[in-house]
């Protein structure tokens, strides 16, 4: 595994990885290097998953997940430099969203701006009870540009997303859960334990099946119901000739835990 300047990557098992946004001196703010590191990591996973079956994304420390874009780095940027940086960020956000391996955000504190968008680009979110979220870009003369207007609206609905984004007001973990943005809330010390329990449950399942189901859900929601159903069957049919399908049925009949190989 490559070394990254702004990320800490830990192998929790042969199939699970913990990715920690690691700029504690800057509230884990998203700078150009972190954007490049995240892009390289997730694009690398897409090219070669190395037996990974689930990735957890969290932030360094116990107070901040990611404070958003690094405004100190951006201070004085020319329009051209800003656009070039954002092209990198766009590719990074897309790499998270399109990661074939399930990605869970474990939001351990404040997730503002681009930090909220990093979490929203993950497959789902667990949050510490003290976590807070916000998309504050309109206060800076810009707007969410990392999927915020799209992912948030799909999670909480158009009217709620407009209220959140246009007011730029922070919202709590409890509100995020009630609105459907967050899947589960945990006490701060229990966040990683709870997230890991779900990650382990995912990792015990047939990895090809998990990937195909993930893709079917995400792609299907962009289609009509008829097209989504057709896409689902195409995804399903890819699981039929796998060794894992044979192993799953065998293990069920032999009353044992299956040993999936991802083949």
Domain presence at residue 148: yes
The answer to pTM > 0.85 is yes
Catalytically annotated residue among 73, 117, 200, 234: 117
pLDDT tens per residue, range 129-181: 999 999 999 999 999 999 999 999 999 999 999 999 999 999 999 999 999 99
Co-location of 171 and 112 in the same domain = yes
What is the average per-residue pLDDT within 206-219? 95
Q: Is 80 a catalytic residue?
A: no
Domain presence at residue 263: no
Domain presence at residue 165: yes
Co-location of 214 and 197 in the same domain = no
In this prediction, residue 49 carries a pLDDT of 67
Average pLDDT for the chain? 95
Domain presence at residue 179: yes
Q: Name the domain count of the chain.
A: 2
DSSP the chain: ----SSEEEEESSSSEEEEEE--GGGTT-B-HHHHHHHHHHHHHHHH--TT--EEEEEESSSSEEE--B-HHHHTT--HHHHHHHHHHHHHHHHHHHT-SS-EEEEE-SEEETHHHHHHHHSSEEEEETT-EEE--GGGGT----SSHHHHHHHHH-HHHHHHHHHH---EEHHHHHHTTS-SEEE-GGGHHHHHHHHHHHHHHS-HHHHHHHHHHHHHHTTS-HHHHHHHHHHHHHTTTTSHHHHHHHHHHHTTS-------
Q: Is 137 a catalytic residue?
A: yes
Co-location of 74 and 84 in the same domain = yes
**Which domain covers residue 48, as residue numbers?**
7-203
Residue 78 pLDDT greater than 70, yes or no: yes
Catalytically annotated residue among 3, 10, 137, 259: 137
Co-location of 64 and 143 in the same domain = yes
Domain presence at residue 258: no
Question: What band does 34 get if pLDDT is binned at 50, 70 and 90?
Answer: very high
Using a pLDDT cut of 90, give the percent of the chain over it: 93
Co-location of 29 and 54 in the same domain = yes
Q: What's the CATH number where 130 sits?
A: 3.90.226.10
């Amino acid at each position: 595994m490559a070394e990254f300047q702004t990320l800490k990557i830990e192998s929790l098992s042969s199939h699970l990885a913990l990715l920690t946004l690691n700029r504690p001196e800057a509230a884990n703010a998203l700078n150009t290097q972190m954007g490049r590191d995240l892009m390289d990591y997730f694009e690398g996973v897409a090219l070669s998953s190395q037996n990974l079956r689930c990735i957890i994304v969290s932030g360094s420390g116990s107070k901040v997940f990611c404070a958003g874009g690094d405004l100190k780095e951006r201070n004085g940027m020319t329009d051209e430099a800003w656009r070039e940086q954002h092209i990198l960020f766009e590719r990074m956000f897309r790499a998270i969203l399109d990661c074939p391996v399930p990605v869970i955000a474990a939001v351990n504190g404040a997730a503002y701006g681009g930090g909220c968008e990093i979490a929203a680009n993950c497959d789902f979110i667990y949050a510490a009870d003290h976590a807070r979220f916000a998309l504050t870009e309109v206060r800076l003369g810009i707007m969410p540009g990392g999927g915020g207007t799209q992912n948030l609206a799909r999670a909480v609905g158009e009217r709620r997303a407009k209220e959140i984004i246009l007011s730029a007001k922070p919202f709590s973990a409890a509100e995020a859960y009630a609105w459907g943005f967050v899947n589960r809330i945990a006490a701060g010390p229990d966040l990683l334990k709870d997230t890991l329990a779900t990650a382990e449950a995912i990792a015990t399942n047939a990895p090809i099946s998990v990937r195909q189901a993930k893709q079917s859900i995400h792609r299907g929601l962009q289609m009509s119901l008829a097209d989504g159903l057709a896409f689902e069957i195409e995804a399903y049919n890819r699981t039929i000739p796998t060794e894992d399908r044979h192993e799953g049925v065998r293990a069920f009949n032999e009353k044992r835990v299956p040993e999936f190989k991802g083949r």
